[in-house]
Amino acid sequence: MRSILFACYYWTATVFYALSAVLLSILPGRRPTAGAIKLYTHRMMWGMRAIAGIDVTVKGQERLPKGAFIVAAKHHSWGDGFVLYSSVPNLTFVTGDHMEKFPLVGGILKKLGAIVVDNCGGPEARKALSESAAIANKEGRRILIFPEGNLAKPGEHFRYRSGVYFMARDFGLPVVPVATNLGLFWRQQDFKKTPGQCTVEFLEPMEVGDDKNAFLKKLRDVVESRSQELIAEAAGLPLEPSVLVPTPDEVKKMQAQAAAA
């Protein structure tokens, strides 16, 4: 019943605030539209707690640096965005171009100054990421990125992509890793919600070095190890390392290669 009620609340609130953001986008500047989205994320946090029974504790906010920085977060569910956007002031975010396909969303993303990149990656996506991130950095905004680029199940992780490294290196920004166990209660895009106490934790900021692979490995190890600790604590299970799995695109590529062989 909680899942049904939350779904009704979710879509009602989403449509209402999307329409509000579209109307506010007529006004100059990004502040009115960003304010509507900020309020939307707070309302969704209320819905997660009061309706779905998912009580989110946010830890480590005292670790957030002053000024601009990059938030590199574990991505368990759609709820991650609500938690982080409502918790970090002056935040913009990196998202795939698939989001522009939803009605009204493209215009809102543009007004918010979101960094929209091609999901397929490659040099063009990296260039677009760099150019958009440069604008956000110039305006002193914080940048949220999910380095895996996909929603992972609890206990699993995807390959950490290099976009976070290049942004941090090019603009000299610290990177704040974020661990979570939200996937235990709201997994990926699942309709079902499981009541419980969830933790999202900002970890110690990291400085990027000259070695891309070393930085990505350290980021992955920090995020995955702490996320697995939070999962074990909440589920009452032994601590186990997360498992690397291929992305849907990587699976398709492997299947195509196998068929061609």
Helices (H) and strands (E) in the chain, counts: 8, 9
Higher pLDDT, 116 or 154: 154
Supply the pLDDT for residue 233: 96
Please enumerate in sequence order all residues whose Cβ is within 8 A of that of 173, keeping only pairs 6 or more positions apart, or say none. 68, 69, 70, 137, 143, 167, 208
Q: Model confidence at 132, in pLDDT bands (50, 70, 90)?
A: low
- CA–CA separation, 77 and 190 (whole Å): 8
Report domain extents, the chain. Answer: 55-254
Q: Model confidence at 104, in pLDDT bands (50, 70, 90)?
A: low
Please enumerate in sequence order all residues whose Cβ is within 8 A of that of 183, keeping only pairs 6 or more positions apart, or say none. 76, 77, 152, 153, 154, 231
What CATH fold (topology level) applies to the domain 55-254?
Glycerol-3-phosphate (1)-acyltransferase (3.40.1130)
